[in-house]
Amino acid sequence: MKKIILVVFLVVLGIRFFAQGPPITTETPIMLGLGGNGIRTFGKLIVKENVSVYVHPIAIPYNITPKFQVGAIVPFKRVAINNGPSTNGLADVAFFSKYQLYKKDEKAKTFRVLARYIQRFPTAKTSETPSLGMGLYESYFGLVVGRITSKIGMYGDAGITIKEGAGSESLPYNLSVGIPLLPQQYPQKQINTFLEFNGNYVFQSQVHELFLSPGVQYIPGRRLLLETSFQYPVLQQNITENKTLYRWMLGARLLIN
């Protein structure tokens, strides 16, 4: 708990600085620049009591118009049971779209609301143990909200996930506060800190998970962004076995045009 309080304190100290970047584990409402036409990839390690999972997705978003974005997510996955078998290969592929519902731009700040849709397909192996996918179609419908200034960015997204015939609808949600550590400058160079909360509530089983996720982001120029985030569980309600110990991710985003 002392470590968590220290992280929160250090992030809040950065509030007096300038510059801004997209959040790390929360969806961004900005569909231009690094959130637009480009490539995002990262490695994510999920360590549980009985199993370790490594996921490496490649996301390719494309702006059809300034208000409408589509894209694909192709994830590769490795699942290893502690002192047991492991499986690796292609996980469940997803396609997504985002549409801007509202935008209000003012001097040095903006407020935006987006609708978001994700369709996941059962493309991963399910015949092996451990399985790489769910073997089910999964749909997500949600909203993304962001209020961004040159001094601070506040982001949030929430929606409902529906699995085909599973009866396990869930409510994933994310909150993020982003604070820069460098003044605005040209050529562009930014270091941004993020304090994020990542949660998911499953209605049928009443399972509720919540993670505290501090992160750091480095932007050395206009086309490249590097980022890392550590996710620590602060709530795992109604989970009696195989709890998540921590999650860690390291990734990059590349702007194509």
- Which range, of 33-37, 45-49, 103-107, 173-177, averages the lowest pLDDT? 33-37
Q: What is the 8-class DSSP label of residue 134? A: -
CATH number of 186's domain: 2.40.160.40
Distance from C-alpha of 70 to C-alpha of 29, rounded to nearest angstrom? 13
Domain count, the chain: 1
pLDDT of 150 higher than 90: no
State mean pLDDT over 70-89: 94
Residue 12 token pair: 């809040």
pLDDT of 245 higher than 70: yes
Query: What does the pLDDT look like over 88-109, one tens digit per residue?
Result: 999 999 999 999 999 999 988 9
Distance from C-alpha of 150 to C-alpha of 20, rounded to nearest angstrom? 6
User: How high is the pLDDT of residue 32?
Assistant: 63
pLDDT of 254 higher than 50: yes
User: How high is the pLDDT of residue 36?
Assistant: 53
Decide: residue 26, CB within 10 A, 0-12 exposed, 13-18 middle, 19+ buried.
buried
- Which range, of 74-78, 130-134, 181-185, 215-219, averages the lowest pLDDT? 181-185
**Domain assignment of residue 21, given as a range:** 2-255
* CA triple 72-145-169, angle to 5 deg: 65
Banded model confidence at residue 255, pLDDT cuts 50, 70, 90: confident
Residue carrying the six token digits 């985003």: 253
Query: What does the pLDDT look like over 235-244, one tens digit per residue?
Result: 999 999 999 9
